[in-house]
């Protein structure tokens, strides 16, 4: 966490100097920095769209969490109302796009209760299942 705080401060110092030199408005940058702080410096996003289970009772999605030391990839399964029933880390990779992007090929339901993240080459599968 400390590394993220220091990095944000260094970025903001540079942005403020550039803004002053170029006559840019600094408030939008400060608002984003404040949002980053409020979110606890978490860098997380959903990869692609959610996919519906064959029986349409569940949705699955891939959540990517970019940390200082790793890129953690999770599969999240939700009920139709949005209630999460499973969140499982399936991959922890180096935090470099060249290292982790190869894992992000396709998210596919294997059955009513099992979903798989298949890598780009199609030769590796990370399977998670919910209890029914």
- Its pTM stands at 0.80
Digit-coded pLDDT (tens) for 3-58: 889 988 999 999 999 999 999 999 999 999 999 899 888 889 999 999 999 999 99
Could you tell me the CA-to-CA distances from 77 to 32, 74, 108 in Å, in that order?
A: 30, 10, 12
What is the structure's pLDDT at 68?
86
Say if residues 119 and 102 touch (Cβ distance below 8 Å).
yes
SS3 63: strand
């Amino acid at each position: 966490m400390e590394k993220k705080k220091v990095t944000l401060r260094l970025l903001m110092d540079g942005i403020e100097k550039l803004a002053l030199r170029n006559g840019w408005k600094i408030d939008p940058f400060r608002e984003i920095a404040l949002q980053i702080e409020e979110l606890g410096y978490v860098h997380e996003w959903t990869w692609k769209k959610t996919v519906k289970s064959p029986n349409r009772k569940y949705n699955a999605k891939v959540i990517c969490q970019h940390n200082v030391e790793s890129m953690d990839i999770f599969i999240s399964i939700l009920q139709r109302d949005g209630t999460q029933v499973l969140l499982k880390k399936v991959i922890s990779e180096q935090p470099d796009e060249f290292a982790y992007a190869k894992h992000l090929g396709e998210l596919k339901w294997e059955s009513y209760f099992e979903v798989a993240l298949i890598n780009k080459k199609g030769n590796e599968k990370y399977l998670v299942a919910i209890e029914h």
